[in-house]
Amino acid sequence: MTDPIADMLTRIRNATAVKKPEVVLPFSKLKFSVAQLLEQEKYVDKVDKIKQGNFDAISIALKYNNEVAAIRHIKRISSPGQRIYVSSDEMPQILNGYGTAIISTSKGIMTSQEARRQNIGGELMCEIW
């Protein structure tokens, strides 16, 4: 697999399409920090690190409001073949602030609003609303 973040987002997208209560992913620090950010922004209910056999995994409890998924759109922007970097003044505003862009910065994974507030740029990983 060349792009584990795209795989993670696709698993979440597919699980919300069939209204699964949770999705389990192979563990990595990057995917876990993205999942924690989704929990912090209230797109998912709960994120846990679990053991699955001999390996660690990430369990993400998906959030629904009246059988409508809280995540309506999730899209990978930067890819291994084409990295997209933005400066703090070029930071995208998704749906006039109703959506969220996830940025990988030198200070860690954060939302575009937080990166703009701290005046730092980074790799534009994905957008979600």
Nearest to 114 by CA among 8, 35, 40, 60: 40
DSSP state of 101: E
pLDDT at res. 44: 96
pLDDT at res. 45: 96
Q: What is the Cα–Cα distance from 50 to 48, expressed in whole angstroms?
A: 6
pLDDT digits (tens, 9 = 90+) for 34-59: 999 999 999 999 999 999 999 999 99
Per-residue pLDDT of the chain (129 residues; tens, 9 = 90+): 789 999 999 999 999 999 999 999 999 999 999 999 999 999 999 999 999 999 999 999 999 999 899 999 999 999 999 999 999 999 988 998 899 999 999 999 999 999 999 999 999 999 999
**Beta strand 85-86 with 74-76: parallel, antiparallel or unpaired?**
unpaired
| All domains in the chain, ordered by first residue | 4-69 (3.30.1370.30), 74-128 (3.30.1490.10)
pLDDT at res. 97: 83
Collapsing DSSP to helix, strand or coil, 114 comes out as: helix
